[in-house]
Amino acid sequence: MLSKKSIIDIDSLTVEEVSQILERTDSFLEVSKRDVKKVPALRGKTIVNLFFEPSTRTKTSFEIAAKRLSADIINFSASTSSLKKGESIFDTLKTILAMSVDLIVVRHNCSGTVKLISKTIDIPVINAGDGKYQHPTQALLDLYTIKKRFNDFNGLKAAVVGDIVNSRVARSDIELFKKMGIDVTIVAPSMLLPDNMDYYGTEVKNCIDDVIEDADIIYMLRMQFERQDRKIYPSVREYNKFLGLNTGRLKKMKQGSIVMHPGPVNRGIEISEEVMNASGELAGKLEIENQVTNGVAVRMALLYLILS
């Protein structure tokens, strides 16, 4: 079992705990391949998806994970709750806790909110993404996807490409990849980088062509339009020229290398339509659907390790 009950960020996880999560994920991935995709591991437990921000993959993934473990799952929607009547987040939490729930999964658009919630309540909290801070379960499923493809992390080179400044996925992935021994390079122009790059401690390139032939993992970040208060890149054409993944660049990638993306993909911006619709050997480089599949198993492992 994990020594800590809440999963707020990657910082608090040790290498041993990450390895434990990945190992447990293997067994739950097998469950997802059965005809009857269900085990009684968390029967009688109640989990609440507390999402204050839109989500498809993460919310649905946690819901399916809970149901496959036989837990009861409640999906909370801020837009149809008493928050619209002026109720505070903490009064909402008190109401939910009064119903004797066992774990809360929280997504919020403000950085630090999930950590504050975890310090306020006495049941486990899992961060499903908060503002520009972190998205630890995305990083764990990304790492597991890499493990399934390469088996070992030592010697691997990953390039994280795109909107670094607005991306919680970038923060979590870069930290976790480095923690597990993967060499990381950031690929982004100055306007998509934070002011303080010391946090990352990685090499920075400005064009994807600088890494395309050498990286084992090309991790394409989603352009975070919803978190930008101004236009910070000249045009889609300019973005494609330096950062976009097209068929020509895909063909230049080294043998056995892979492409990842947290989703949803802005087709024609981060990745071209031709690449997204690729077939044969080129399509074999895309791990985007496998990330989604693995996400359910990783979240099953986390829920089990926290609540069992």
**pLDDT tens digit sequence for 183-241:** 999 999 998 998 888 888 999 999 999 999 999 999 999 987 655 555 566 678 888 99
Instruction: To the nearest 10°, report the CA torsion of 140, 145, 151, 157.
Output: -80
- The predicted model gives 256-282 an average pLDDT of 95
Nearest of 275, 213, 203 to residue 240 by alpha carbon:
275
Candidate from 90-94, 127-131, 193-197, 231-235 with smallest mean pLDDT: 231-235
| 15-134+292-307 and 136-287 have identical folds | yes
At 226 the pLDDT is 54
* Residue 30, pLDDT above cutoff 80: yes
pLDDT tens-digit readout, 163-180? 999 999 999 999 999 999
Domain covering 136-287: architecture: 3-Layer(aba) Sandwich (3.40)
Of all residues in the chain, the percent with pLDDT exceeding 90 is: 81
Q: Which of 260, 162, 280 is nearest to 216 (CA)?
A: 260
Helix, strand, coil shares, percent, the chain, to 5: 45, 15, 40
Residue 80 has pLDDT above 90, yes or no: no
pLDDT of residue 1: 72
Average pLDDT over residues 98-116: 95
pLDDT for 82:
61
Specify the pLDDT at position 89: 85
pLDDT of residue 233: 66
**Predicted pLDDT of residue 250:** 98
Domain borders along the chain are: 15-134+292-307, 136-287
Mean of pLDDT over the chain = 92
Q: Is 135's pLDDT higher than 90?
A: yes
Q: Which residues contact 19 (CB under 8 A, 6 or more apart)?
A: none
| pTM strictly above 0.85 | yes
Q: Which two tokens stand for residue 33?
A: 């391949």
Residue 223 structure tokens: 């352009």
Q: Check: CB of residue 218 under 8 Å from CB of residue 193.
A: no
pLDDT at 84: 61
Instruction: Look at residue 23 and tell me whether its pLDDT is greater than 80.
Output: yes
Query: In the prediction, which pLDDT does 253 show?
Result: 98
Q: What is the predicted pLDDT for the residue at 234?
A: 65
Q: What is the pLDDT of residue 5?
A: 87
Judge contact between 192 and 233, C-beta under 8 A.
yes
Confidence label for 79 from pLDDT (cuts 50, 70 and 90):
low
DSSP 12-76: T--HHHHHHHHHHHHHHHHHTTSSS----TTTT-EEEEEESS--SHHHHHHHHHHHHTT-EEEEE
pLDDT of residue 236: 80
What fold is seen in the domain 15-134+292-307?
Rossmann fold (3.40.50)
- Mind spelling out the 3-state secondary structure of 231-290? CCCCCHHHHHHHCCECHHHHHHCCCCCEEECCCCCCECCCECHHHHCCCHHHHCCECHHH
Which residues are CB-neighbours of 202 under 8 A, at least 6 positions away?
174, 178, 184, 185, 186
Q: Which residues does residue 125 pair with via DSSP β-bridges, in sequence order?
A: 104
Q: What is the mean pLDDT of residues 242-257?
A: 97
